Amino acid sequence: MRSLIAAMLLATVASPALSQGTTPQPQATASTPLQKVIDDHWRWWLSVNPVQATGLGVRDYDDRIDDLSLAARDARAKAEQGFLTRLEGISDSGLDADARTNKAVLSWMLADDIEANRHGERMMLFTTYYGWQQGFADMADNLPFYTRADYESYLKRLSLFPVQNRQGIDITKQAVKESYIQPCSVLGGFADTITATVAGKPEDTRFYAPFLRNRPRDISQADWAAMQGRAVAMIRDVVTPEYARLHDYIAKDYVPHCRKTDGASALPDGAAWYATQVKAHTTTGLTPEQIHAIGLSEVTRIRAGMDEVAKKAGYPSRAAFIEKLRTDPQYYVKTPQELLQAAAFQAKMIDGLLPRYFGRLPRLPYGVRAIPPETAEGTTTAYYGPGAPESGIAGHFYVNTSKLNQRPLWELPALTAHEAVPGHHNQIALQQELDLPQFRKHAASFTAYVEGWALYSEYLGEEMGLYDTPEKMMGRLSYEMWRACRLVVDTGIHAKGWTKAQAVTFMKENSALTEANIDAEVNRYISWPGQALGYKLGEIRIRELRAKAEAALGPKFDLRAFHDAVLAEGPVPLDVLSGRIDAWIAAEKAKGAAS
């Protein structure tokens, strides 16, 4: 679910250049203007994303973390405009289909970033879902820890947090002065999630986790003990005070100035900014009004399906069945470990079905973890964390083990299909292995494609037999309804003047989600405008392309081949995906004619 997937696509099997710790060399032997832009852009991208570069095996920037400053943002936008101008000077007429796709994807990415930097909302650096402090706490999960150099690099990065934190606070102070601030309705408890990250002894925090691993072979026992002591001191004396500083600023200065309105339209130039977010996350030209109407239509369609399931299950109404699902203790576990075990079992069961539906599967495995407790209570039901093959890191299906009376087991099949397989893990791990330019494997992430595929995977679960009870089928339809409601609620809040209360009521009346999930989700839509629109619109397009392929190819349609074709491109704008699938259909027809 996380759109932050873009920032976490860290690794692939490295080329010799990567493993030697130098910037990657051009992938193509032919020197062309387009390839030169792609190579130059990739080298630059690594330099401004230093933590991700390390995960990719490029060690040139191991002593850096991300620069949050507005000056750095402006410099980045200027560099991106330079790349975009060079791309615009290259004619499509001399490019083959793959090269045209590379150009289109990079152009779209650059244009999105440039446009986003033109708006004052760029100063809003956190949502209820993510902020720089959370990204810093997640850092160790995405880095290699095998040698002395790895640990020294990590300690150096920990020492840099005061600079990054103060950049974030200073920008946020400027944002408050200029009225770019989050609504009061979503900030309850947010400050406490900050200090929770460093609660307890330094050794108990996530920052210390790398030092609980086996001692690297190139570090003596004495040096390892000394390094562990340095880590404790760094967490205690450098990192923890900065988290306290951020907590105090948010609690004492930011929250008292919070915005009383919920919609983005209340922000300076908010309507124009929201329009850019809609375009960025849907990769379409649809207006908020059009998306709202699509959402209402989908809600009506899915509600009819939910009514039918309830009737077949013997309930007088959809509402009666949902009330049973929300309140019956048999559908809820008692301990976090039970929920993790149930999620792991569900994931392995789906693993065994995958070869029937896919011709190509990723080599990278994935694990199951609990969402960190400091963020769990205010965040979503689950999310996926990409792996880093070069750094020896598997992907992970993160499950929310807080508020167990709000985490029903009948949601697990759809949830697992989305976040693990055949959803995010399948798509992202394969993306890391594709024969594509590096920027498409590690920097490209279009919400409509990534989340559209994951939602399509929930739909595919019907054919896979995942929803073998009325409860599980209602869970699947409730999840689809959840994403349809997003089209209505997100546009309602940010373009039509809805309040949080209206949004909560709409979702409660139409989905089977529990109250805690609904509250966390609506907070997310309010604080992160537009992102939630990509899911349903992406899924609708993929289902339309499948229907088109089935109609065109008839009995020669191969579902496994279709899925492989969709995943073969990695994340692309929806119109680019449509064009590539049209080409695939034509090629499949030609095969049939030749045979």
Is residue 207 within 8 A of residue 141, CB to CB? The reply is no
Strands 382-385 and 395-399, sheet pairing: antiparallel
Last residue of a domain, one of 268, 293, 309: 268
Question: Are both 403 and 550 inside the same structural domain?
Answer: no
Strand partners, 407: none
Question: Are both 161 and 29 inside the same structural domain?
Answer: yes
Last residue of a domain, one of 445, 468, 490: 445
Q: Say if 425 falls within a structural domain.
A: yes
Question: Are both 174 and 122 inside the same structural domain?
Answer: yes
Amino acid in the structure at residue 161: F
The pLDDT, as a whole number, for residue 129 is 87
Last residue of a domain, one of 376, 411, 445: 445
Question: Are both 9 and 62 inside the same structural domain?
Answer: no
For 427-471, give the DSSP string: HHHHHTTSSS-HHHHHT---HHHHHHHHHHHHHHHHHHT---SHH
CA distance 549 to 558: 9
CA distance 546 to 589: 15
175 Cβ contact list (under 8 Å, min separation 6): 120, 123, 124, 125, 181
CA distance 572 to 449: 6
> Distance from first CA to last CA of the chain, Å, rounded?
42
In degrees and rounded to multiples of 5, residue 460 shows phi and psi of -60, -30
Q: Say if 55 falls within a structural domain.
A: yes
The pLDDT, as a whole number, for residue 26 is 43
Question: Are both 555 and 517 inside the same structural domain?
Answer: yes
Q: Say if 594 falls within a structural domain.
A: no
Total domains present in the chain: 3
State if pTM tops 0.85. yes
Question: Are both 553 and 429 inside the same structural domain?
Answer: no
Question: Are both 39 and 83 inside the same structural domain?
Answer: yes
Q: In a 10 Å sphere around its CB, with 0-12 CB exposed, 13-18 middle and 19+ buried, how is residue 157 labelled? A: buried
Tens-binned pLDDT, residue by residue, of the chain (595 aa): 333 333 333 322 222 222 334 444 444 434 599 999 999 999 999 999 999 999 999 999 999 999 999 999 999 999 999 999 999 999 999 899 999 999 999 999 999 999 999 999 999 999 998 999 999 999 999 999 999 999 999 999 999 999 999 999 999 999 999 999 999 999 999 999 999 999 999 999 999 999 999 999 999 999 999 999 999 999 999 999 999 999 999 999 999 999 999 999 999 999 999 999 999 999 999 999 999 999 999 999 999 999 999 999 999 999 999 999 999 999 999 999 999 999 999 999 999 999 999 999 999 999 999 999 988 988 889 999 999 888 899 999 999 999 999 999 999 999 999 999 999 999 999 999 999 999 999 999 999 999 999 999 999 999 999 999 999 999 999 999 999 999 999 999 999 999 999 999 999 999 888 888 899 999 999 999 999 999 999 999 999 999 999 999 999 999 999 999 999 999 999 999 999 999 999 999 998 676 6
Question: Are both 337 and 387 inside the same structural domain?
Answer: yes
Tokens (6 digits) for 110: 């650059």
Report which DSSP code applies to 366: E
Question: Are both 421 and 342 inside the same structural domain?
Answer: yes
4 Cβ contact list (under 8 Å, min separation 6): 129, 130, 135
Range of the domain at 135: 23-268
CA-based torsion, 66, 71, 77, 79: positive or negative: negative
